Amino acid sequence: MGDSNIYGSSFFFTFFFTVNKHKPWIETSYHGVITENMDTVLLDPPLVALDKDAPVPYAGEICAFKIYGQDAPFEAVVLNRTSGEGVLKASSAVDCESQKEYTFIIQAYDCGAGPSGADWKKSHKAVVHIQVDDINEFSPVFRELLYKASVTEGKIYDSILQVEAWDQDCSPQYSQICNYEIVTTGTPFAIDRNGNIRNTERLSYDKEQSYKIMVTAFDCGQKRAKEDVAVHIDVKPVCKPGWQGWNKRVDYEPGTGSKQLFPKMHLETCGGPLSGVRVTVELQTSHIGKGCDRETYSEKSLQKLCGAASGSTDLLPAPSPSTNWTASLLTDSGRDSDLIYRFDGRQAANVPDHVVPQNLTDQFTIATWMKHGPSPGVRAEKETLLCNSDKTEMNRHHYSLYVHNCRLVFLLRRDFTQVDTFRPAEFHWKLEQICDKEWHYYVINVEFPAVTLFVDGVTYEPYLVTDDWPIHTSKIDTQLTVGACWQGTNTEREKSIATPRFTQYFHGSLSGLTIRPGRIETQKVISCLQACKEGLDINSLESLAKDIKFHFNPAQSVLVVEGEDVDSINTAMTKVSYINSRQFPTPGLRRLHITTTVQCYGEDTCLSIPDIKAVVMVLPPSELRITIAGSNRLVRPASDLRGPPGVAPFKELHITSTVMKGDSFGGCEPGVMEVMHNLDYCDILVIGEELDPERESLEIHHSALLGKHLDATNSTSGISIYGVDSMAHYEQAVRQVRYRNWQPDLLSERKFRLTCSELNGRYTSNEFNLEVVFQRYSSLSLSTIFSSRPPGAAPPAATVVIVVCIAALVVIVVIGVYRIHATHQEGSREDEEEVKDPEVDWNNSALTITVNPMENIRGPQALDEEVKEGDHAEEEEEEEERVAGMTSAESDNSDEDEDEDEGVKERVLKGKLEWDSSSITY
């Protein structure tokens, strides 16, 4: 029994130690896939270890998988020890962008021979390859923050530039950019899937000089770029020869002098070698007034300003009661007060006989402004500007100026008393100006038999002179007409069937038509009369290069600049300026036209430079306000009106002128600024009934106008003072206008209205109304005083005192006057504002006459009775005091100024007393 147990136990232990005979078995290689940021690996084939010792416990079971590899972030886990299944898991985060693949070694371990795990066996080593799958976690990013490119206008590009985006994802699916797209709509550009941008149409520099477009990108997972990128594409002009850097409009502010027109202008020649450049700058001002901005004063005022000789006759004056022959003519006065007459072939005017110059000798001048176009019809008729013809019967033309087929013809047939011979009679000029529909100034100087024509100051000799027989002297009256020729009746038959009429009507515009007999006009005066006040100018002539040549036309409306070097030409063009010297220029547009000719070596012209058209905008000047101020009511004793000096109604007159100032005057706050300028006329009109020449007058002495550019005319309607002169001179002249009335008892007052003008009515003053009141005083004669007492009564004490005072007054006055007259120096004095009256020459520095103010006696009247041989006191009374019915006044002895010798002769011949009562106190 015992032996059998022993043998049995020994068998059991031998079996136990020999049961784990086999190693686990796994595949030799595995391929796995893991998605980044996940922890489970999908293996192919699956991870399974087999052991032939199964189903022996422990020996046939799998207890572990071990991984060998540097930093392999994986671990193997046994899922079932019996079946040997396992799984690979990531031990840390797996990032495809860090590492896309892993390779390592894996072995399987069984559980050994028993529970203790001893004597375990391991399998062979298997290679594991694991690929990390990518997820689309990143958006595309452009490699540049901004893309720039430039293109030349007019070209179609296959690729202007290429934009490029990239993606941080590791896989081709998510890291590759599959598409680009232009986000900005409405642009002439397109982009392909490779990022190449092209233009879909021809670009124009004038239309758009630069484009800004936004572009985005998509990866192959259709994930859009987080931020779009900007692409700037500049359009460069095709190198076209021409001027660059100029403005189409230049604003000119009045009173700023000369202003540069093209300060940044330069000529682009595209690098071609040049031998010369010629630039013509033309200022077009034909639409302004009479061809440009000229002074708009009256013709007489302009002639005086220019120093022309006096004696000219204005045949086209402004219509007025005294110049009514132009009233029926059409006028065009809408251009800055220029007096322009427009003739449409139906209007003409007869100049009154008393106006027509009667003393035309071998020397005289005819001048006019004329604008004329081509005559209608194939065989145009004569168009007469001026014609002196027989008023009746013979229809002879003595002299005339007319246009025929764009030729200007002057006819002059004089009356000769010599033997009849052929003499020059018709003078012909053929000029483009006659029919170019522009304003030109024509002056015909006649120094018979020579006749010279000036057009805009340039001399032209006649191309044809025809002779004719002289006109025989006759007693037939002549008729001077403007705009046509007077056609009288000739034969008896014509007289019975026709009436005198106008023929050869003029079609065009005229202004300032004058005749000056006895002398011809000088070149200097002609140039002054037609000179423009605006034109082109060049600043800083000394800064121009030596090779630059330039010249102006006479009106300075055309400038030609020539040079060999482009840089010199560019510098010269930046100096070209516009200037307008008028204080109040005509506002509006002036057009500029620039033409350029470029010459190359060996060629006449090599580049075509486009013309430039720009405008100068003359801004409106500040509105001018002329103000006349002074006392509106003047009260004077009626006795003051009787004497030769009369009264000076406007002695306290003041004329001022102001403009509104603001930005145009240094940027100041808006306000009023006083300015000094000229006036061209002041009219004093009588309000109410006209003056009666039999008993009153309104006049200004010629001496008040001496030293001034002023003239005056007067009539029963008032006085007109005219001429271009300063406001101060006008103020002095108006102050010396005198009003007389030698029968003041018939009126109680007179009213006058004063207005002044600048620029021929463009600016007018306020209407200043003045009322002169005649004051009458009751007077008592000595006989009246004595007759007022009762008959037989003795004179009262007051009466005796009165008589004594009057006697003393008369004696003192006579003695004083005699002494003054004996020591007085002959002559006249003039104070700062007034001219002294020649017939009143007082010196009362030592004479004082005192009268009892309680007496009711006429001081001045009594004095007048005592000195009734002399003139009445001829002073204007400054102050008046009414004391007990008596007026006391101080007289001003500086009323008029005449020639000293004439004044002395008058005083000696008339035997009148000379008074100076400026210091007499009553």
CA distance 818 to 832: 29
Give, in degrees to the nearest 5, the angle at Cα 38 between 33 and 42: 30
Task: Give the C-alpha distances (Å, rounded to integers) separating 368 from 230, 617, 627, 704.
Answer: 70, 29, 35, 32
Q: What is the mean pLDDT of residues 56-80?
A: 88
Least confident stretch, 31-40, 418-427, 563-572, 817-826:
817-826
Identify the CATH number of the domain in which residue 421 sits. Answer: 2.60.120.200
Q: Which residue has the tokens 């001026």?
A: 386
524 band by pLDDT with thresholds 50, 70 and 90: confident
Write out pLDDT tens, residues 854-901. 333 343 343 344 333 334 333 333 333 333 333 333 333 333 333 434
- Boundary-marking domain end, from 100, 117, 133: 133
- Boundary-marking domain end, from 571, 597, 618: 618
CA count, 13 A, side-chain hemisphere, 685: 10
Q: Which residues pair with 41 in a beta bridge?
A: 88
The DSSP bridge pattern shows strands 229-236 and 146-152 to be parallel
Say whether both 693 and 571 belong to one domain: no
User: Phi and psi dihedrals of 627, rounded to 5?
Assistant: -120, 130
User: Phi and psi dihedrals of 610, rounded to 5?
Assistant: -65, 145
Q: Residues 6 or more apart from 602 whose CB is under 8 A from it?
A: none
Domain boundaries, position 756: 624-775
Output Rg (C-alpha) for the chain, integer angstroms: 57
Among 146, 154, 165, 164, smallest CA distance to 233 is for 146
Any domain includes 5: no
Q: Indicate the number of domains in the chain.
A: 5
| 505-542 burial code (b ≥16 CB/10 A, e <16) | bbbbbbbbbbbbbebbbeeebbbbbbbbbbbbbbeeee
pLDDT value at 84 more than 80: yes
pLDDT value at 921 more than 60: no
Tokens of 27: 């595949």
Say whether both 442 and 376 belong to one domain: yes
Least confident stretch, 478-492, 583-597, 691-705, 900-914:
900-914
Say whether both 614 and 648 belong to one domain: no
Task: Give the C-alpha distances (Å, rounded to integers) separating 28 from 34, 83, 129, 841.
Answer: 20, 18, 11, 153
Q: What is the mean pLDDT of residues 497-521?
A: 83
pLDDT value at 516 more than 80: yes
CB distance 64 to 161 below 8 Å: no
Q: Please return the burial class of 377, using the count of CB atoms within 10 Å of its CB with bins 0-12, 13-18 and 19+.
A: exposed
Say whether both 222 and 336 belong to one domain: no
CA distance 623 to 662: 12
pLDDT value at 544 more than 90: no
Say whether both 307 and 364 belong to one domain: yes
CB distance 136 to 97 below 8 Å: no
Least confident stretch, 12-21, 223-232, 766-775, 839-848:
839-848
Any domain includes 665: yes
| 241-277 burial code (b ≥16 CB/10 A, e <16) | bbbeebeeebebbbbeebbbbbeebbbbbeeeebeeb
pLDDT of res. 230: 96
Reading phi first (left if > 0) and then psi (alpha if -120 to 50, else beta), residue 145 is in: alpha
More confident residue, 844 or 707: 707
163: three-class secondary structure by DSSP: coil
Q: What is the mean pLDDT of residues 556-574?
A: 90
Q: Which residue has the tokens 């500007």?
A: 385
Any domain includes 403: yes
Report the side by side order of strands in the sheet with 612-618. Answer: 249-252, 612-618, 588-599, 276-284, 558-563, 549-552
Q: What is the mean pLDDT of residues 311-327?
A: 86
Write out pLDDT tens, residues 785-795. 444 444 444 45
786: three-class secondary structure by DSSP: helix
Say whether both 102 and 166 belong to one domain: no
More confident residue, 115 or 625: 625
Helix, strand, coil percent content, the chain, rounded in steps of 5: 15, 40, 45
Q: What is the mean pLDDT of residues 124-132?
A: 92
For the chain, give the percent of residues with pLDDT over 70: 78
Total Cβ atoms within 10 A of residue 106: 26
Q: What is the mean pLDDT of residues 185-207?
A: 93
Total Cβ atoms within 10 A of residue 592: 23
Write out pLDDT tens, residues 143-192. 999 999 999 988 999 999 999 999 988 888 888 899 999 999 999 999 99
Identify the CATH number of the domain in which residue 249 sits. Answer: 2.60.40
Overall residue count recorded for the chain in this entry: 922
Any domain includes 398: yes
CA distance 137 to 569: 65
More confident residue, 446 or 819: 446
Write out pLDDT tens, residues 97-106. 888 889 999 9
Tokens of 770: 């003045």
DSSP single-letter state for residue 702: G
Write out pLDDT tens, residues 733-742. 999 999 998 8
Q: Residues 6 or more apart from 12 whose CB is under 8 A from it?
A: none
Say whether both 628 and 608 belong to one domain: no
CA distance 498 to 655: 57
Say whether both 275 and 334 belong to one domain: no
Say whether both 666 and 547 belong to one domain: no
pLDDT of res. 655: 94
Give, in degrees to the nearest 5, the angle at Cα 916 between 913 and 919: 145
Least confident stretch, 179-183, 584-588, 760-764, 809-813:
809-813
Any domain includes 874: no
pLDDT of res. 394: 72
Q: What is the mean pLDDT of residues 592-601?
A: 90
Identify the CATH number of the domain in which residue 62 sits. Answer: 2.60.40.60
Write out pLDDT tens, residues 334-387. 555 568 899 988 889 999 988 888 767 788 999 999 999 987 665 678 899 999
Average pLDDT value over all residues in the chain: 79
Say whether both 226 and 375 belong to one domain: no
pLDDT of res. 911: 34
The DSSP bridge pattern shows strands 249-252 and 612-618 to be parallel
Any domain includes 612: yes
Q: Residues 6 or more apart from 857 whose CB is under 8 A from it?
A: 780, 802, 805, 806, 851, 886
CA atoms 229, 230, 233, 234: torsion sign: negative
Say whether both 763 and 668 belong to one domain: yes
Least confident stretch, 232-241, 271-280, 866-875:
866-875
- Boundary-marking domain end, from 742, 775, 808: 775
Report the side by side order of strands in the sheet with 407-412. Answer: 349-351, 478-482, 383-390, 397-404, 407-412, 423-430, 464-468
Q: Which residue has the tokens 């003029």?
A: 506
Any domain includes 877: no
CA distance 371 to 153: 48
pLDDT value at 329 more than 70: yes
pLDDT value at 682 more than 50: yes
Say whether both 565 and 694 belong to one domain: no
pLDDT of res. 379: 67
853 band by pLDDT with thresholds 50, 70 and 90: very low
Any domain includes 715: yes
For the chain, give the percent of residues with pLDDT over 90: 35
pLDDT of res. 441: 92
pLDDT value at 547 more than 60: yes
Which pTM does this prediction carry? 0.58
